Structure 1
Amino acid sequence: MTAHEDEAAGPDRAGRRGSHGAREPRGRMVLAILGALLVMVAGATLFRFIGPGTAREPVADARAGAAASSPALPSGTAAPTGAGPSAKPSATPSGSSRPSRAPATRKPEPKSAAGPSGPCGAFPSFPDASCTGWQHTGVKLRTCNGTITRANTKLDGCRFLKGLTIQAKNVSITRSRVEGLVGATYLTDWSLGGLKLVDVEIDGGGGVDPNGQAAIGSDDYTCIRCHIHGTGRGANMANNVRIEDSYLHGWVYVDGAHQTAIGSNGGKNFTVVHNNLDCQSKGCSSALSLYGDFAPIDGALIEKNLFNTDGGYCTYGGSTSAKPYPIGTNIRYVDNRFGKKYGPKCGYYGPVATFEMHAGNEWRGNTWQDGSGEVKPQS
């Protein structure tokens, strides 16, 4: 082809070459796009069929799947920890893969009311015949043998016609009536051996023991809601005695006797709490007498009692100078009430005598029952 022909044909050939030159890059681009699509399809196919462990799902999807497939656990139960897509390290230091339910807040226990509670009510009310002894319980009594020889005997609803003699340890008697006295023998070394009386009436029936024995005495016993009356003296305490929520009154005159509702001639470990102590007789010394005759008085809590008497003083406090053991120790008179039932001074001479501030002794919160003021020792 001549140059002229070539030149004449040039525009057409040039156009074709230009057209071919423009289509060649486009073809490559199309091939590249098709190749990319093939790679993506292959990748998706591989992701779908190779399975977990080769490619991981997004975290959000894994959590949602775990929530949908994991059963709920009782509080405090550990979740499974084996391998798998739903297992996760614990977020708490308790060892469980899920936090347990928070424990319920414990409410504080209520504080006990001032004074004993029960049928007789709390201080400053005081026991009487309506809430002590067996009658307020509604029990029907049966006759029982009054000599107890077997340890750990428990009796309820008994009527003891000739008193009660304890010859064994740890006897318990409830809702019963004793007609006569309660005492021990030489078989227990004159100890009542842990005798416990609850809701028991001791009625002396107006009789007087020729030896001056009290209605109950003297070592190792507890009397709760006891109604004691009709004897020469009430309760005698030697060692380890607790008298609580009880009513002691109505004594029979004994010529020359030093009568009391409760008395001790020496000993230790007495608890006399929330009782109504009354002594009206020509022979009364006080409602409560602590004397160091045979041993020192040591360790007595006298709390929340009511005292009334026509004797010399409502209470003698354990340190009588004329006694063989004139110093009483660890004697605490707390929150007692001194009545004026038989006179304006509680006793004929006054409310209290022979209480001294020796080692461990305490006098606190003792007042007149009518609200007229504080009662002080030797006042």
Structure 2
Amino acid sequence: MPAPRPAAPAPGPGHAQRGSRVPRRGLLALIAAGAVLAAVLSVLVATRSGAGDSTAGRCPVQALTCSPGQTDPADSASPKGRSAAGAGEGARTAGIERTSPAGHAAPGADPAPGGTASPGGRCATYSACGYPDAHTTGPRLSLTPHRTGAMTVRTDGTVISRWDITGSLDIYANDVTVIDSRITSDNWWGINLRSGYKGLRILHTAITAVPGKGPDNGGVDYAVSNMGTSSIEIGWCDVSVFGDALSMGQGDLHDNYVHDVTPFRNLGGEWQHTNAVISNGGGAGGLTIRHNTLLNPTPVDKGASGSVGLFADTGPVVNVTVQDNWLAGGAYALYAGGTGATGIKVTGNTFSTEYHPGSGGYGPVAAWNAGGSGNVWSDNHMSDGRPVTPGATS
């Protein structure tokens, strides 16, 4: 859980609102509105129940995933409570296309790697292995620009859909959904959930920053920050630039593409540590990191920590599942919680050699507590198939 940051400005006209008033326009208008409402309700029922005709061609825009045989979502009337960000034509925007950064040479000094590997054979790239990339993450639909600045959301149930945001979201509300959107931030965060609130979902969204801009030269920044103790969901998102991209003690992080993490010096001239996913411990636990591509190309001498960093900075790390991810880069690709970590399950992950021969600059894994209650390590491999075996707790 990241340290608290200064509160955002008071709500202004740019803040997200739920719904709008519809003027009376006579009987014909009411009949037409009723027909639209009926159509919307039928779409919502199909979406919530998981029903739908897979032969219909396109699934509705409200659908989070499409049924077999359906193509990308098609536009339909926006239900009450959604922010309708323009009519659009339902065209897919395939995330933010970026090339993979060049690999960095392994550092000369090796402070006793926390993991070892032995020969085998497996898979070359995250895309070839079916892990998330620019084509499977980010917004699926056309977007409408919104220059929000530092925007505060205070209405429970707000849905922000199809917004191309220049700014950031500071959320003091329950059950907020951000879907099919893009955020370009120069704040401490792209999206921040304040303590005491719950139910945040961020889906099919691209979240990025402007390197070197924002507070402290962009230092100590988070694409998504969860300051509370409730779980949040982040799925099918394209995340880049932010130093500590996904920061939380509890949540469901799945099918995301985190890449191009950018090193920077703070105003004091120090390199900031970087992680694709970071947890500082001390939380209620319940963090699941499943089927993500997590890349940290930061050189070790410029602040790299991990692809996944589970650190006991504020208390023990507990109840974390790291399953079926593509991990690459950092000083170690995985910092696994250390002494006192319990309920840590690391299974079926691929440790890539794209930046370093050992996945991380110093090796694949450090701080694994083999004797911790409920800790499980199984079926983890290097990208060439060599099994990864963690060393002693460090």
User: Do these two structures clear the TM 0.5 threshold for a shared fold by scoring above it?
Assistant: yes
Shift, 1:142, TM fit = 4.1
What amino acid is aligned across from residue 354 of structure 1 in structure 2? A
Which whole-Å CA distance do the structure 1 matches of 2:128 and 2:341 have between them? 27
Which whole-Å CA distance do the structure 1 matches of 2:369 and 2:243 have between them? 29
**Equivalent of 1:217, from 203, 207, 225?**
225
CA deviations on 1:95-154 (whole Å, 9 max, x unpaired) are xxxxxxxxxxxxxxxxxxxxxx979999941111111111xx132334275321100111
Name the residue aligned to 2:358.
345
Structure ranking higher in strand proportion = 2
**Equivalent of 2:172, from 141, 151, 167?**
167
**Equivalent of 2:143, from 133, 140, 144?**
140
Answer whether contact 2:236 2:257 (CA < 8 A) is retained. yes
**Equivalent of 2:377, from 344, 363, 366?**
363
Name the residue aligned to 1:149.
154
What amino acid is aligned across from residue 258 of structure 2 in structure 1? L
**Equivalent of 2:334, from 315, 328, 337?**
315
Which whole-Å CA distance do the structure 2 matches of 1:236 and 1:179 have between them? 17
1:204 aligns with 2:224: no
- Taking structure 1 as the reference length, what is the TM-score of the superposition? 0.61
Aligned-residue CA RMSD (Å): 2.4
Answer whether contact 1:184 1:192 (CA < 8 A) is retained. no
Which whole-Å CA distance do the structure 1 matches of 2:131 and 2:192 have between them? 30
CA deviations on 1:194-239 (whole Å, 9 max, x unpaired) are 210110111112235425131111243211011111222211112x
Higher relative contact order (CA 8 A, sep 6+): 2
What amino acid is aligned across from residue 274 of structure 2 in structure 1? Q
1:332 aligns with 2:337: no
1:265 aligns with 2:280: yes
Alignment gaps of 5+ in structure 2: 1-64, 67-71, 73-93, 95-125, 265-269
Which whole-Å CA distance do the structure 2 matches of 1:377 and 1:192 have between them? 37
What amino acid is aligned across from residue 278 of structure 1 in structure 2? L
Shift, 1:192, TM fit = 5.5
**Equivalent of 1:252, from 250, 256, 262?**
262
CA deviations on 1:262-294 (whole Å, 9 max, x unpaired) are 011112110100000011122111111101110
Answer whether contact 1:160 1:178 (CA < 8 A) is retained. yes
Q: Given the superposition, is the C-alpha separation of residues 128 and 122 from structure 1 closer, same or farther in structure 2, using an over 3 Å criterion?
A: closer
In the TM superposition, what are the counterparts of 1:1-379 in structure 2 within 5 Å? 124-134=129-139, 137-143=140-146, 145=148, 146-180=151-185, 181-184=189-192, 188-189=194-195, 193-206=198-211, 207=213, 209-210=215-216, 212-218=220-226, 219=228, 220-238=231-249, 240-254=250-264, 255-266=270-281, 267=283, 268-281=285-298, 282-309=302-329, 311-319=330-338, 326-357=339-370, 358-371=372-385, 373-378=386-391
- Taking structure 2 as the reference length, what is the TM-score of the superposition? 0.59
What amino acid is aligned across from residue 295 of structure 2 in structure 1? D
What amino acid is aligned across from residue 258 of structure 1 in structure 2? H
Structure ranking higher in helix proportion = 1
Which whole-Å CA distance do the structure 1 matches of 2:158 and 2:222 have between them? 23
Q: Given the superposition, is the C-alpha separation of residues 277 and 154 from structure 1 closer, same or farther in structure 2, using an over 3 Å criterion?
A: same
Shift, 1:193, TM fit = 2.2
What amino acid is aligned across from residue 336 of structure 1 in structure 2? N
Answer whether contact 1:165 1:184 (CA < 8 A) is retained. yes
- What is the DSSP-based 3-state SS (H/G/I as helix, E as strand, rest coil) of the residue aligned with 1:170? coil
- What is the DSSP-based 3-state SS (H/G/I as helix, E as strand, rest coil) of the residue aligned with 1:163? strand
Which whole-Å CA distance do the structure 1 matches of 2:157 and 2:352 have between them? 40
Q: Given the superposition, is the C-alpha separation of residues 153 and 144 from structure 1 closer, same or farther in structure 2, using an over 3 Å criterion?
A: farther
Name the residue aligned to 1:3.
none
Answer whether contact 2:184 2:190 (CA < 8 A) is retained. no
Shift, 1:312, TM fit = 1.9
Alignment gaps of 5+ in structure 1: 1-116, 320-325
- What is the DSSP-based 3-state SS (H/G/I as helix, E as strand, rest coil) of the residue aligned with 1:194? coil
What amino acid is aligned across from residue 214 of structure 1 in structure 2? Y
